[in-house]
Amino acid sequence: VIPAPFEYVVAEAADHAIELLGKREEAKLLAGGHSLIPAMKLRLARPALLVDVGRIADLSYVREESDFVEIGALTRHKDVAASSVLEQHCPIVSSTAGRVGDPQVRHRGTIGGSLAHGDPASDLPSVMLAVGANLVARGPHGERVIPAGEFFTGVFETALAPDEMLVQVRVPKLGSAGWSYTKMARRAQDWATVGVAAVVERSNGSVGKAAIALTNMGATSLRAAASEDALAGGASVEEAAALAADGTEPPSDHAASSDFRRHLVRVLTRRALEEAARGGSMRDG
Amino acid sequence: VRNGSGGSEVGATWALIAAAGSGERLGIDRPKAFAALGGRPLLAESLDRLDRCEFVDAIVVAAPPGWEEPAILLAEELAASKVVACVTGGTTRTASVAAALFEEGAYDSEGNLMTTTMATYLVPSAAEVPSYETDRTETAADNPLGVKGVGETGTIAAAPAVINAVVDALSHLGVTDVGLPATPERVWKAIEEVRS
């Protein structure tokens, strides 16, 4: 309940934060604090130095570009959820941000903080995989772009180097693609027991190609490759959804056993694909 | 609301007075929040202090069914201007529903308690509590002394009511029982067991 001792510094700008990260081992960035602080209280995380980036105002924005939308890493979930640009061009991102945690979490937590935390039970990593987002990391030697598919490397682990900061999220405009993020949680504010993000190409109301990503079905959010391949090969939604648990190693914990998660992911994948085929929206499992 | 300096958001502080307990064990003719202490109801004490407390911006009173009006009248009498609402409470029934659907002291195979935080020991929020109606039954006490328990009756009655509703919903599949609490996984397993 009480965190281990740590030092605390407020960063004035992103470059200042990166400089501070480079100076100390075991330094962590603090944004909204709704993942890191609980982890510190449970002593799952024991950073020696907290670099508070929460006051860097110029990293909170949603900007429309030609074929993608740029989201500043420190944009809070409630601002992502309320963005009319995202609602028009990539509504799976704004809808899902509006369903992260509870109102308190959404008013403090940031999109960059959530992604950099690398929690396989978080909703937004799956959405990033399904839309094919690019994540912009800045370090002492400049910026690099990391595809979402290469960003999540393990439980609470990402491709970010210790002295890099996630500064921007780029999500492609979805055009006419159908979409769904379907999750089941024990209570409204809980982490998803299982979640499924789907972005599909539709032809006459049926599903052609689809990108499907799964929440809380392994060490990271991951693509449902077997289901995707089946759909590309002409399988029906039912046939493809029945393969959703293939190749996954879901955890067993207080919320569900791995067997129940394998059952849930097949049901939720079918519902997500049906929802996406109809157009797109968000639902609870 | 926004504070004046940095533009960061701070919340208003609301106080909820949980005054819906029935207080059957007190053996008086009214709910315990309205029991007299020093010449005025217990509830008056809480209202008075919270209304004068500079950290509290607004007060909501949860009153027992049928006692909402007296609670509001009391607030008016005390000129407790921060009272913004009086809602109907039902704490013991809600807690009992929670026991039927959510709360569980789960142990691993070595006897370690697994549900040690509020993230794992689930307490339902407003979104999860099902709607319910209350009714009463009259059943003779069929034991040598002819006695019955009278305290916390809501707690005793609601859990079996919820579990019976779940079993009823699954009875066409052949399910005759579901363990407590009836988590999604237990419901799934109950269905799988009668199928296999």
What integer pLDDT is reported at residue B150 of this predicted model?
67
Task: Report the chain B residue with the minimal C-alpha distance to residue A259.
Answer: B185
Query: Contacts of residue B117 in chain A, CB cutoff 8 Å?
Result: 42
Answer whether B184 sits within 8 Å of A184, measured CB to CB: yes
Pick from A26, A29, A4, A1: which is nearest to A14 by CA? A29
A183 DSSP β-pair partners: A195, A284
What integer pLDDT is reported at residue B114 of this predicted model?
86
A256 — contact with chain B (CB < 8 Å)?
Answer: yes
Amino acid identity of residue B153, one-letter, is T
What integer pLDDT is reported at residue B8 of this predicted model?
42
Confidence check: pLDDT of A283 > 60: no
Q: Which of B106, B125, B184 sits opposite A189 (nearest CB)?
A: B125
Please state, in angstroms and rounded to a whole number, the distance separating the CA atoms of residues A224 and A269. Answer: 9
What integer pLDDT is reported at residue B89 of this predicted model?
66
- B58 to chain A, closest Cα gap in Å: 19
A188 — contact with chain B (CB < 8 Å)?
Answer: yes
Confidence check: pLDDT of A224 > 70: yes
- Number of A/B CB contacts below 8 angstroms equals 35
Greater pLDDT, B128 or A142: A142
Q: Which of B185, B191, B192 to mutate to test the interface with A (most CBs of A within 10 A)?
A: B185
What integer pLDDT is reported at residue B91 of this predicted model?
54
- For residues A114, A117, A121, A125, the Cα torsion angle rounded to the nearest 10 degrees is 60
Query: Contacts of residue A188 in chain B, CB cutoff 8 Å?
Result: 125, 127-128
Q: Answer positive or negative: Cα dihedral of A108, A112, A117, A120.
A: positive
- A189 to chain B, closest Cα gap in Å: 9
Confidence check: pLDDT of B101 > 70: yes
A1 — contact with chain B (CB < 8 Å)?
Answer: no
A252-257's contacts with Cβ under 8 Å and 24+ in sequence apart are A254/B106, A254/B114, A254/B115, A254/B120, A255/A186, A255/A190, A255/A191, A255/A193, A256/A193, A256/A194, A256/B184, A256/B185, A257/B185
- B114 to chain A, closest Cα gap in Å: 8
- Tokens 């809501």 identify what position? B154
User: A70-79, A106-115, B150-159: which has the minimum mean pLDDT?
Assistant: B150-159
**Surface of A (197-216) touching B: CB under 8 A:** none
Q: Which of B183, B186, B192, B193 to mutate to test the interface with A (most CBs of A within 10 A)?
A: B183
Please state, in angstroms and rounded to a whole number, the distance separating the CA atoms of residues B25 and B88. Answer: 21
For the residues B23-40, what does the mean pLDDT come to? 82
What integer pLDDT is reported at residue B90 of this predicted model?
60
Task: Report the chain A residue with the minimal C-alpha distance to residue B126.
Answer: A188
- Report DSSP state, residue A159: S
Q: Does ipTM surpass 0.90 in this model?
A: no
Q: Which of A42, A189, A254 sits opposite B115 (nearest CB)?
A: A254
A55 — contact with chain B (CB < 8 Å)?
Answer: yes
Query: Contacts of residue B125 in chain A, CB cutoff 8 Å?
Result: 102, 187-189
Please state, in angstroms and rounded to a whole number, the distance separating the CA atoms of residues B75 and B40. Answer: 12
User: A132-136, A225-229, A252-256: which has the minimum mean pLDDT?
Assistant: A252-256
Amino acid identity of residue A207, one-letter, is V
What is the CB neighbour count within 10 angstroms for residue A157? 12
What integer pLDDT is reported at residue B4 of this predicted model?
40
What is the CB neighbour count within 10 angstroms for residue B27? 7
And the tokens for A82?
């309320």
Runs of H (alpha helix) within B13-171: 42-52, 68-77, 91-101, 153-170
Please state, in angstroms and rounded to a whole number, the distance separating the CA atoms of residues B187 and B166. Answer: 8
Answer whether A187 sits within 8 Å of B125, measured CB to CB: yes
